[in-house]
């Protein structure tokens, strides 16, 4: 696995969205490494991380994260955060490795599975990737990844998203799309989550809309739900200061 490992303190592990890499967490790593050990891996096939060998799944990605913790000799419970696809992996990790958790951060994500229409769309994108590049896919996705304000007034953010996505391999993207399409419904798990949880959602997120955040927060006992104003799906990149401030406040309030 390729991963960033910065700072000292309680471990905070951050899992990226699709079709990006750990590089999307730079604003969070920069802001939080002063007080925390921030670890951000690239998930299977993305960045410099090895591709899937077996059937692509969120479970495999979650097990990869557990293996990375073993490799780094991290035995204490971690705060695990994920945005979108990273959030699906967080939920898979909570199902498979609950004892390793201290707290959860679920950003711009959902617990439900793909609808029939969603699955059909994954198949269309998989077909598209057979003769297009990651850069082509990104142009297609951009209006759903960031809001109109970011597209017109935050060119550096858009350029960074393009830069990260452009170097991802079509094979990795196809494998991730299969894992996204076939992921299970994590909604039944929510009531079993017993660690403090922060649910973050960009006000203008259309990919995983605020209603999906409502469902997460309603399902997890005691979850704190916060809207990041003037942000779309990639809220951590569109409004980094606000996003970081919410994470910092959440981490500082954790017991112990
Ligand atoms: C993501 O941002 O990780 C993906 O767009 C999530 C999804 O397509 O379900």
Segment 172-204, tens digit of pLDDT: 999 999 999 999 999 999 999 999 999 999 999
Distance 85 CA to ligand 1 centre (A): 5
Other Cβ atoms closer than 10 A to 51: 12
Pairwise CA distance, residues 148 & 142, whole Å: 10
Pairwise CA distance, residues 189 & 111, whole Å: 9
Local confidence band at 32 (pLDDT 50, 70, 90 cut-offs) = very high
Measured N-to-C along each axis, helices 170-181 and 134-145 cross at an angle, to the nearest 10 degrees, of: 50
pLDDT at 256: 79
Indicate left, alpha or beta for 224 from its phi (over 0: left) and psi (-120 to 50: alpha): beta
Distance 204 CA to ligand 1 centre (A): 15
Collapsed DSSP state (helix, strand, coil) of residue 105? strand
- Rounded average pLDDT over 216-243: 98
Segment 113-127, tens digit of pLDDT: 999 999 999 999 999
Q: Is the pLDDT of residue 5 over 90?
A: yes
Residues near ligand 1 with C-beta < 6 Å? 17-18, 84-85, 180, 207, 233
Q: Which of 25, 44, 61, 85 to mutate to test the pocket of ligand 1 (most atoms within 8 A of CB)?
A: 85
Q: Comparing C-alpha atoms, which of 247, 103, 251, 127 is closest to residue 181?
A: 127
Residues 6+ apart with CB under 8 A from 52: 44, 45, 60, 175, 179
pTM of the model: 0.98
Distance 34 CA to ligand 1 centre (A): 29
């Amino acid at each position: 696995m390729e991963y960033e490992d910065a700072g000292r303190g309680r471990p905070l592990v951050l899992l990226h969205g699709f079709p990006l890499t750990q590089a999307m967490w730079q604003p969070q790593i920069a802001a939080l490494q002063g007080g925390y050990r921030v670890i951000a891996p690239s998930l299977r096939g993305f960045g410099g991380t090895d591709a899937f060998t077996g059937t692509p799944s969120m479970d495999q990605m979650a097990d990869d994260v557990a293996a990375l913790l073993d490799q780094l000799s991290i035995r204490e419970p971690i705060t695990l955060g994920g945005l979108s696809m990273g959030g699906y992996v967080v939920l898979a990790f909570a199902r498979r490795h609950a004892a390793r958790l201290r707290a959860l951060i679920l950003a711009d994500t959902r617990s439900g599975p793909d609808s029939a229409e969603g699955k059909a769309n994954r198949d269309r994108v998989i077909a598209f990737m057979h003769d297009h590049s990651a850069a082509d896919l990104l142009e297609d996705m951009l209006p759903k990844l960031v809001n109109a304000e970011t597209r017109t007034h935050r060119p550096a953010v858009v350029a960074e998203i393009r830069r990260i996505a452009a170097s991802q391999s079509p094979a990795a993207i196809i494998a991730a799309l299969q894992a996204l399409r076939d992921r299970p419904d994590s909604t039944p798990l929510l009531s079993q989550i017993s660690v403090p949880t922060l649910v973050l959602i960009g006000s203008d997120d259309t990919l995983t809309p605020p209603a999906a955040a409502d469902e997460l927060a309603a399902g997890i006992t005691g979850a704190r739900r916060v809207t990041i104003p003037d942000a779309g799906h990639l809220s951590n990149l569109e409004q980094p200061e606000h996003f970081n401030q919410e994470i910092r406040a959440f981490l500082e309030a954790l017991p112990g």
